[in-house]
Amino acid sequence: MVQSFGARLSLQSALLACRQRGGVPVIPDLKVRSPKEGELLGARSAAEYALAMAEAGAPAISVVTEPKHFGGSLDMLRAVVDAVGPRVPVLRKDFLRTAADVRATAAAGASAVLIIVAQLDDPQLANLVTAAGEAGIESLVEVHSAAELERALAVGFDCLGINNRDIVALERDHGTVSTSEHLARDVPEGIVWISESGIHTPEEARRAVATGATAVLVGTELLLAPDPVRRWRELSGVVD
């Protein structure tokens, strides 16, 4: 059973429950477009896409709300929460810098918020993690290097994200799951962590989990698939 975090579904609980059921927990990452791949969502409804993924068995939905480079918005986040919120937790991804940003995330109904170590100094990082707890949502603190992981562990968080691609470069690089494999050696046992981006095949998803990841986050591979739900099932091991 997925437990609540305050009045919301818990991302940690949802991912752990999915792991216990077997297979690879795959979190669909919903973004309208990306600087590298261009348009992704097209004419599809974000809410309908997210609902289809949730009904297929996705343990959570990630929504990129950054408008300039990724075409997102808080309105899109609210629409997705309205569509899937009773079923699965929703994560907000954006370049957030202030406690007010975190409070806006909670007000939109998300269960968790992404906090990117690379763009914050230590006091800012600690402030956002604290703000998330005070707002009643979980913090997903994202790293891309050993130095960033060390900083994240010093501050603390609810969940850890290892981004296989460089978010500072707007994920235009060709990062692979090898980044997660490299950094996983320094992730303490018992931490719920997600291997993010750069995952395109079931084999890569299994590699991430084999190295210790609780779940994987996949955006482009699903959004560009002819049948995103079937591709999600293939990546998660539901079908071959």
Question: What are the beta bridge partners of residue 160?
Answer: 141, 193
Q: Domain 4-235 belongs to what architecture? A: Alpha-Beta Barrel (3.20)
> Digits of tens for pLDDT over the chain (240 positions)?
344 444 579 999 999 999 999 889 999 999 999 988 899 999 999 999 999 999 999 999 999 999 999 999 999 999 999 999 889 999 999 999 999 999 999 999 999 999 999 999 999 999 999 999 999 999 999 999 999 999 999 999 999 999 998 876 555 646 789 999 999 999 999 999 999 999 999 999 999 999 999 999 999 999 999 999 999 999 999 654
Q: In this structure, what token pair is assigned to residue 233?
A: 């099932």
Give the H/E segment covering residue 223: helix 220-223
Q: In this structure, what token pair is assigned to residue 43?
A: 């004419």
- C-beta of residue 202 within 8 angstroms of C-beta of residue 237: yes
Q: In this structure, what token pair is assigned to residue 147?
A: 């130095």
Q: What is the pTM of this model?
A: 0.93
CA dist., res. 56 & res. 232, Å (int): 8
Q: Where are the domains of the chain?
A: 4-235
CA dist., res. 29 & res. 1, Å (int): 23
Across 8-134, the runs of DSSP E, i.e. the strands, are 8-9, 26-30, 33-34, 38-39, 61-64, 90-93, 112-116
